[in-house]
Structure 1
Amino acid sequence: MSNKLKTIAAVTQPRQHHVPAKARAPLTQEERKEKTEASAQRQSEMNADVQAIIDDIFDCANTLASKYDKKLRGGAHMVHKQTEVNPYNAFKSEKVAELREAGTPMNAGNIHKTFHQEYVELFKGDKAALVARHEQNREAPPVRRATPRARVQDFPNMVHNMEMLLSGLALRVGVEGFFVVVRNNTDCNCEPFWYFTSSELRQYMPLAVRKHWDTAQVGMKLEAFALAGCDTLNLLRTAPQKAAQVKMEIRDRILQMLVEITGNPNAQVAYVNHEEDIVFKYDKWCNPSELTTSLPVLRKLLNAIKSGECKFKRLSVAELKARKDKYEEDIAAGRITGKQHNPRSDIGKKRKRTTDVEEPDDVAVPPPEKRRKAPSQPAAPKKTSQRKPLAKKSANQPAAKPRARAKLKTTAAGRENRDDDTTRAALARLKSGKAPGSRGGQAFKSRAIISSDDEDDDSAAPAAGAMVVVDVAASSTSSTSSAADPAPVVIDALAA
């Protein structure tokens, strides 16, 4: 605890900067020469001592080699493994394993005498395959020999470990699952083993598959599939079914190679237009669905794809240009046909004729107007904001006192629309000949239309440039010959 506290205190304290050492005085030429001679003398003494030790080691090794009848050199080969595999050593290693499995073990000398001629008759490809198998076996993790007794012991132990791992994961993390273990060879005599983390999961399986679920039957089918080498062809019965399975695997392998060489995970083979896009251009690359149903031929093609003999090749720029030129020459010569387009859907039908009027090319034709959806209900008639004409007053009737105008709670947009309608109506009357002042002896009273809410006084003078409505009233001296009622007139206050 005390050491921990000291460490924490040391960390929390500020870092101490050491005082820089003083620069040494430069050496003179004589001092530098003496120092060099002393270093050389010390190095020579060290080399002499190391050489004496090496001589003693060699003397000791010679003594031990003569005493035990061993070679003086060659121990490095026993310590360091050989990196390059010899084909003959790979051949002998494989023969040793085969003889051990057969129960007739043999030493290296007898193997050389018995099977040397067989190795001589091997081809170069067979020797390369021997080396590849030997490297694969050497890289595999070492295991003990699989005897019948060892298999009987390993199976229950490994199953128990898997149960503990899955149950522990379910307790710590909160997962549910199951596993099944079946054998894949006849050397191991064990039945299929199932394990479910809960009984409810076992009961759910029939509901999940929506069919009859028998755990024992499913385990037996999995075991049969594993004993068949995990190959679906061994489970199929008829030749057409097996051929279809091999063709499907060929298509999958071709797509995988195409993705690898292009680097595009979404690459697809054009099987819809395969004849025009693939066969006409590249030749000898037929659709896998059109291949023969002979299983030996299909297996040969599948093995060639797996081994890499049949593969895609990335063409260079020159090769691609040469292939395109040859393809165009073949089309021009009629040896092959180009890509065929689908016929038009309106073949044999009459088409609409255009007008005989020819329009110049430089005249821009306006785009057609878009159709607007007809309203479901008729539009309401627009309301006009024109003022009604004032009633005609008699000559003896006194003028009425103007009432105070109430505040209008309208928006600015509404006021502008109202003013515009009133202005247009007044201008129309002015143009028709009813100009203001054409009648004599009339009294005029004006009030501003555009005013703020604060200006409610009718006696206030209108602002400069404001539009003014003039109410025309008949005076006592006016003549009675006018038949129409006077109408309000709009004039410009600034012009007046």
Structure 2
Amino acid sequence: MDWTFNTKKNQFIEDLKDTRNSRKRGVQLSARSRLLDFNATVNLIICLFKGLKARVGVEGFFCLVRSSTKYNVSPHLWFSSAQLGKYLRLNIKGFDLEKIGLLAEAFVVAGCDWMTFLHTSKDQANFLKTDIRDMVHTALVNITGNPKIIMNYKSFEHEIVIKYGIDIEGWTPGKDRFINPSDLSDSLPLLRTLHEALESGTCKFIRLSAEQVSARRKAYDARVNAGEVVTRKTRKDKGGSHKKPPKRKGRKKGKHRSDQPSDDDSNSSEDSDEDDEGVPRPRKRRRVVQAGGAGEGQ
């Protein structure tokens, strides 16, 4: 008897726990219950945000969109301050609230998969290449701790391996094809495989030991001496100062000449008195003001 009672009691407790969990984060079967849960959660988020604003002093906004077509609800975009929304509309080109909500909803309903929005294989390949390049750069920044580091594919051995003691493993196209993702072929299987390897962590950067770095440096120097690696030529003025030559002080534009004519001015005035054939040009007679009145000079 006690065994049966305890069994039913435990079963009742488990059922009660399942019911409570389903109310909190379980899947609602009807469209009406989904909509009610959505609106209630939105109101709860707003209340929590207002409380945080009153206690700490924050401003912000959030956007909620559905991820399923089993119920119908419009995207909900909320601002803690109406002036904040107005400011963003005026200063961000194309900041349309309805458009942002609809685009976010379409993307989420599609499963957050970019490939569903890229219709041609060329567009899909370009997207994968861009994402691979960004993932490689992010991984390099994370392992070096240097946010300003720049990935160098052509001089990877010297600029990354020897300089930072870092190498990459799991590059699915092969070590001989470790090149800029933009230069890879547009083969979607190849790009998808590399993309998945970077996402899963099978393709990653690793730190080398001091002995490994030393061995790689010796091998690199040997290849350079053998002419297998093309390096940049050293500047002739390496180690010297690279100051800019002083500017010449010339006559500023708009500056008037002095009252005293220069030799060039006198020569130019003399040359202007005669034309190319040596015939003197006629000169204007100068008026002379006399004491008794105005008259022409004789």
Q: Answer whether TM exceeds 0.5 for this pair.
A: yes
- Is 2:183 the counterpart of 1:290? yes
Q: 1:278 to 1:342 in 2, by over 3 A?
A: same
What percent of counterpart residues are identical? 38
Aligned counterpart for 1:153 among listed residues 10, 32, 36:
36
CA shift for structure 1 position 190: 1.7
- Any residues of structure 2 matched to 1:129-208 within 5 Å, and which? 143-148=25-30, 149-171=32-54, 175-208=58-91
- Write the letter of the residue equivalent to 1:270: N
- Is 2:212 the counterpart of 1:319? yes
- Write the letter of the residue equivalent to 1:252: D
CA shift for structure 1 position 332: 4.3
CA shift for structure 1 position 153: 2.5
- Write the letter of the residue equivalent to 2:60: G
Aligned counterpart for 1:227 among listed residues 98, 105, 109:
109
Q: 1:326 to 1:207 in 2, by over 3 A?
A: same
- Write the letter of the residue equivalent to 1:185: S
CA distance in 1, matches of 2:25, 2:223: 62
CA shift for structure 1 position 236: 3.5
- Is 2:99 the counterpart of 1:210? no
CA distance in 2, matches of 1:225, 1:68: 54
Q: 1:314 to 1:214 in 2, by over 3 A?
A: closer
Q: Tell me what 2:152 maps to.
A: 270
Aligned counterpart for 1:260 among listed residues 119, 142, 149:
142
CA distance in 2, matches of 1:241, 1:275: 31
Write out per-residue CA displacement over residues 8-43 of structure 1, whole angstroms, 9 at most, x where no aligned residue.
xxxxxxxxxxxxxxxxxxxxxxxxxxxxxxxxxxxx
Aligned counterpart for 1:240 among listed residues 110, 122, 126:
122
CA shift for structure 1 position 342: 7.6
Q: TM-score, normalised by structure 2?
A: 0.56
CA shift for structure 1 position 224: 0.8
Give the conservation status (yes or no) of the 8 Å contact 2:153–2:178: no
Q: 1:324 to 1:238 in 2, by over 3 A?
A: same
**Partner SS for 1:179:** strand
CA distance in 1, matches of 2:143, 2:59: 41
- Write the letter of the residue equivalent to 2:181: P
Give the conservation status (yes or no) of the 8 Å contact 1:178–1:197: yes
CA shift for structure 1 position 182: 0.4
CA shift for structure 1 position 284: 4.0
Give the paired residue count. 212
CA distance in 2, matches of 1:262, 1:278: 10
- Is 2:222 the counterpart of 1:339? no
CA shift for structure 1 position 188: 3.9
Give the conservation status (yes or no) of the 8 Å contact 2:224–2:231: no
CA distance in 2, matches of 1:238, 1:153: 40
- Any residues of structure 2 matched to 1:19-58 within 5 Å, and which? none
Q: 1:169 to 1:264 in 2, by over 3 A?
A: closer
Q: Tell me what 2:199 maps to.
A: 306
**Partner SS for 2:208:** coil
Q: 1:203 to 1:312 in 2, by over 3 A?
A: closer
Using CA pairs below 8 Å that are at least 6 residues apart, which structure has the higher relative contact order?
Answer: 2
**Partner SS for 1:306:** helix
- Write the letter of the residue equivalent to 1:304: A
Write out per-residue CA displacement over residues 247-304 of structure 1, whole angstroms, 9 at most, x where no aligned residue.
222122222322333344443322575597579x985421122111222211110111
**Partner SS for 1:313:** strand
Structure 2 unaligned blocks of 5 or more: 5-9, 11-23, 162-166, 168-174, 238-245, 250-298
- Write the letter of the residue equivalent to 2:143: I
CA distance in 2, matches of 1:147, 1:234: 27
CA shift for structure 1 position 220: 1.0
CA distance in 2, matches of 1:196, 1:277: 47
Q: 1:171 to 1:260 in 2, by over 3 A?
A: closer
- Cα root mean square deviation, aligned: 4.2
- Write the letter of the residue equivalent to 1:227: V
**Partner SS for 2:69:** coil
CA distance in 2, matches of 1:240, 1:341: 38
Give the conservation status (yes or no) of the 8 Å contact 1:278–1:285: no
- Write the letter of the residue equivalent to 1:241: D
**Partner SS for 1:312:** strand
Q: 1:160 to 1:342 in 2, by over 3 A?
A: same
Q: Tell me what 1:471 maps to.
A: none
Give the conservation status (yes or no) of the 8 Å contact 2:153–2:179: no
Q: Looking at CA atoms only, which structure, 1 or 2, has the larger radius of gyration?
A: 1
**Partner SS for 2:204:** coil
CA distance in 2, matches of 1:329, 1:272: 18
Q: 1:278 to 1:166 in 2, by over 3 A?
A: closer
- Write the letter of the residue equivalent to 1:210: K
Q: TM-score, normalised by structure 1?
A: 0.36
CA shift for structure 1 position 68: 5.9
Q: 1:329 to 1:210 in 2, by over 3 A?
A: closer
Q: Tell me what 1:348 maps to.
A: none
CA distance in 2, matches of 1:235, 1:165: 36
CA shift for structure 1 position 171: 4.8
CA distance in 1, matches of 2:115, 2:208: 36
